Amino acid sequence: MLTIHNFARGVRGLRVMWLCEEMGLPYEVKYVTFPPSAAYRALHPPGSVPYLQDDTAGVGLAESVAILLYLANRYGPTPLLPPRDAPQLARVLHLAEFGESEVGAGMNTLLAARFMAPAADKDNWSVRAQRARLERALGYLANALGDQEFLAGTGLTLADISVAPTLGLFQGVVSVPLPAKLDTYRQRLQARPAWQLAQVRCQGEQPAPTP
């Protein structure tokens, strides 16, 4: 059994749940408190989420993009990760990592400034610089998408599973508008049945485990 440890509504864990739903992998979710408990830190000392336990393999690992790659490699082959000799592979890997390194991680500063910083620091130089960097990253993704339905070609891949959930955080949370093209893309992917199932699990509502 796969166990995904995550904060309720944690977007990075949603990536992993969405991948499991798309691949038909059975999993359960264990919700982590904030701040993380001593018991969770004993399991994963940094206290970050998501954290995946794969009891079948005796494996535990963190970092959502690494987890996506692990699951696709161990339980594939899957069209979500092109084979290693496919020209599309480089683009999928690049954009999957970009979804975290330039978009997901970039939002951490803005979220912390909005909800935790003193009033005088909510729009300081670092916040403005990070907002500008994030806007450039969104423009890059919009150009990468172009007129395609998916980021890396004609079908869903790990690139979309990394990027699309992160874009959802912008709605009402971070004061950086999504380019219209990316907003349409996000809404289209959120309509997928696998996303909908993962979203329910991620919210903290716990239906029966997937069969």
More confident site: 130 or 210: 130
Q: What is the pLDDT of residue 209?
A: 40
Tally of CA atoms within 13 A in the half-sphere of 165 that contains its CB: 26
Task: Examine the domain organization and report whether 102 and 60 are in the same domain.
Answer: no
pLDDT digits (tens, 9 = 90+) for 128-143: 888 888 889 999 999 9
Task: Examine the domain organization and report whether 130 and 43 are in the same domain.
Answer: no
Task: Examine the domain organization and report whether 183 and 151 are in the same domain.
Answer: yes
Dump strand ranges (E) for 42-145. Answer: 51-54, 59-62
Task: Examine the domain organization and report whether 140 and 73 are in the same domain.
Answer: no
CATH of the domain at 109: 1.20.1050.10
Q: Does residue 83 belong to any structural domain of this protein?
A: no
Indicate the pTM of the whole model: 0.91
Confidence band for 17, pLDDT divided at 50, 70 and 90? very high
129 is in which domain, residue-wise?
88-192
pLDDT digits (tens, 9 = 90+) for 25-52: 999 999 999 899 999 999 999 999 999 9
pLDDT digits (tens, 9 = 90+) for 153-208: 889 999 999 999 998 776 656 766 788 999 999 999 999 999 999 999 998 754 44
pLDDT digits (tens, 9 = 90+) for 92-128: 999 999 999 998 888 888 888 888 888 888 888 888 8
Q: Which two tokens stand for residue 200?
A: 């329910």
Counting runs of H as helices and runs of E as strands, what totals does the chain give?
9, 4
b/e sequence 33-49, b meaning 16+ C-beta within 10 Å = eeebeeebeeebeebbb
Q: Are 169 and 109 in contact, with CB atoms under 8 Å apart? A: no
Number of domains forming the structure of the chain: 2
Q: What is the pLDDT of residue 208?
A: 41
